[in-house]
């Protein structure tokens, strides 16, 4: 299983009243505190439909000879997620989906 998902599961399994911080749990699982907090709070764009929609958006712009800049991708991803995505999100998305994206 994914260490971030393990940490989220651990966080959710705690009894009410147990005081654990994101920092403590992130250290325990050797993961990024901000990523843990975002996942625990449900801020994540990984749904297959959202990914497909974003890839199609990028490919559509590219086919029209309008290669999207990172700000365009970030804005559209934020629109899909209904929540602002982070600064490094676009880089990670492109890296994770390089096989799905045409150049």
Can you give the residue ranges of every domain in the chain? 3-40, 48-96
- For the stretch 28-39, pLDDT in tens is 999 888 888 877
pTM of the model: 0.53
- Check whether 103 has a pLDDT greater than 60: no
Instruction: Give the contacts of 17 (CB within 8 A, at least 6 positions apart).
Output: none
pLDDT at 45: 52
Q: How far apart are CA 30 and CA 16, in angstroms?
A: 24
> For residues 12 and 44, which has the higher predicted lDDT (pLDDT)?
12
- For the stretch 75-97, pLDDT in tens is 999 888 878 888 899 999 999 88
Across the chain, what does the average pLDDT equal?
84
């Amino acid at each position: 299983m994914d260490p971030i998902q393990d940490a989220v599961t651990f966080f959710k399994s705690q009894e009410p009243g147990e005081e654990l911080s994101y920092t403590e749990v992130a250290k325990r699982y050797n993961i990024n505190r901000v990523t843990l907090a975002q996942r625990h709070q449900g801020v994540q764009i990984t749904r297959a439909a959202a990914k497909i929609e974003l890839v199609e958006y990028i490919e559509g712009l590219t086919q029209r000879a309008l290669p999207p800049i990172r700000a365009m991708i970030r804005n559209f991803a934020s629109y899909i997620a209904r929540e602002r995505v982070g600064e490094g999100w676009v880089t990670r998305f492109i890296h994770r989906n390089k096989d799905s994206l045409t150049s």
